[in-house]
Amino acid sequence: MWRKHWVVIVAVGVVLTVLLTIRPWTGQAGLDAQEIVPIGQRQAAVTYKADVQIDMNKHVVKGMLTARFVPQDDQAFFHLYPNAFSANAALSGENWEVVLGKQREPGGIKISEVRVNGKSVGVQYAGKTKTLLQVPLPARTSSAETVVEMNFQLEVPYNNGRMSYHDHAMWLGNWLPILAVKDAGGWRLDPYSAIGDPFYSDVANYHLRVQLSEGYQLATSGLESVAVITETRPQRLKIYEVDAWNVRDFALVVMDETYQPISGKVGETIVRTWVQKSDDPQNVERIHETARESLDYYGKQFGVYPYKEYDVVKTGGFFGGMEYPSLVFIAQEYFERSDGMGEAVVAHETAHQWFYGLVGNDEVREAWLDEGLTDYATMVFLQQKSLARSQAYIQMRLGQARAAEGYANQGVTAKSSVEAFPDWRSYNDLVYGRAGAMWWNLKEEWGVERLHQVLRQYVRDHQYKQANGEQITALLTATAGADASPYLDYWLRVELEKAEAASNWVEKGKHE
Ligand SMILES: [Zn+2]
């Protein structure tokens, strides 16, 4: 079943390649007319296939991973993020306390039997606490696809983070070994950090076969609604086969039967909010409605959401919300409050489906890019939904933005790399607040339609790829017909001497 399935996928891939090469639909009503290429019509450069068994009693995940890709180098690196939480990681300081929480147990991932094109190459870890796997590849003269296989055993840490569990669920973010990105600056092998979302990855196709005990259910970055689910007797196992095409990562949450989904639809996309039966129905409904409405709104503003599912799952965690492709984690507390923050968190994570998901960027060096656009989108969504209810959130962000000058005097700005931020507060104020306020200000000056036209083009230009600050500056420059750098420098780097040049640029852009 599994192998056959694999052959079918390859065959579909071949047919798609041929179709994409010939482009029989090119023409007025064809691909060129579509802003976002449908996921089924796009070849991903990397394919991951994993076969995993999840033990919910021991909190252990065993598995085998295969990655197929055309090498860019004579080696490849896989991030092993779980090893950031290994027993010898010695995580200390206030910022790690936030991530780890009061109760904590270490975890980690062990790799064995690494094979390249079928040949064993040994296990070579790198990074301070083995947070990287280094894999030598055949000489790069050949552009042929390379297959890297490995076995792994993941012991899920217990803490306040993105990969943990409680009595009713286990949420796995950044758990699978994932290829590091090599960009113009070389290999990006940044370690996990307490602050920010220290991730950077390329879009890939994933095929997962997940084995669970009976009595558990799954939400993932893939399509559970069409997953093949097999139940075995007498072992009482449930096996899911899940595909996710053209996604930047693959996260999943295993839930017991106290969880149930509330379903809705936005166009062809199924939106599910996974909560426990004991949760407050009004809060749940508000969050679910916000997920649906924001997905719909952003799709209309920034380009259609190309995936067929969107899951919002209640988890534990310090993070408020955490974005993964087609799946977001929302911390429990936001289902317990009715002050509008739950809606804001969901609207924020949903916006990340465009800024992070569809258009990726280096979240270590340029967190302002996805977070700023995401939080701007959040504010504009909340405002058009309810002027009154959005005020507190928008004023909070604009207030944070005003603190930027103080931070700049200490050498920290929205453009700083994650390791430069002394604490979560400064990261919040600058990367969300200041960068979001920069876009908000431009919306106030140019109007929402003009700004969103620019952002739609940004998404269209970089869909399924990476973007960077230079590229969005170039787009703004082209839009206004004048160099946009003074505007970005004024807002992001707080170069106050550029205030006049910045406002001249804004004026010029209004009339272009
Ligand atoms: Zn965010």
* 125 SS3 class: strand
**According to the annotation, is 352 in a ligand binding site?**
yes
Q: Which two tokens stand for residue 422?
A: 């002394």
Long-range contacts from 268-271, C-beta under 8 angstroms, 24+ separation: 268/308, 269/295, 269/305, 269/307, 269/308, 269/309, 269/310, 270/225, 270/308, 270/309, 270/310, 271/295, 271/309, 271/310, 271/311, 271/312
Instruction: State in Å: Cα 437 to ligand 1 middle.
Output: 14
- Note the pLDDT of residue 141: 60
Is beta strand 327-331 parallel, antiparallel or unpaired with respect to 321-324? antiparallel
- In this prediction, residue 30 has a pLDDT band, given cuts at 50, 70 and 90, of very low
Query: Does the annotation flag 348 for ligand binding?
Result: yes
Paired tokens of 485: 């750098």
β-pair partners for 105: 158
Domain 367-511 sits in CATH at 1.10.390.10
pLDDT in tens, 171-213: 999 999 999 999 999 999 999 999 999 999 999 999 999 999 9
232-241, 250-259, 324-333, 373-382: range with lowest mean pLDDT: 232-241
Give the pLDDT of residue 211.
Answer: 97
pLDDT exceeds 90 at position 25: no
CB 175 within 8 A of CB 217: no
pLDDT value for 512: 78
Query: In CATH terms, is domain 258-346 a member of 3.30.1330.50?
Result: no
- Active-site annotation holds for 298: no
Q: What are the extents of the domains in the chain?
A: 1-33, 45-257, 258-346, 367-511
Q: Residue 145 to residues 40, 142, 150, 495: CA-CA distances in angstroms?
A: 20, 9, 17, 47
Catalytic residue among 349, 363, 458, 490: 349
Distance 484 CA to ligand 1 centre (A): 24
* CATH of range 45-257; options 3.20.20.150, 3.40.50.620, 2.60.40.1730, 2.40.128.20: 2.60.40.1730
Q: How far apart are CA 183 and CA 185, in angstroms?
A: 5
Percent of the chain beyond pLDDT 70?
93
Task: Tell me if residue 465 falls in helix, strand or coil.
Answer: coil
What is the per-residue pLDDT across 263-289, written as a single tens digit (0 to 9) for each?
999 999 999 999 999 999 999 999 999
Answer yes or no: is 462 a known binding residue.
no
Å from CA of 355 to ligand 1 middle: 9
- Look over the chain and give the mean of its residue pLDDT values, rounded to a whole number: 92
Q: Let me know if 349 is a catalytic residue.
A: yes
The percent of residues in the chain predicted with pLDDT above 90, rounded, is 87
Judge whether residue 134 has pLDDT over 60: yes
Residue 240 confidence (pLDDT) above 80: yes
From ligand 1's centre to the CA of 415, what distance in Å? 15
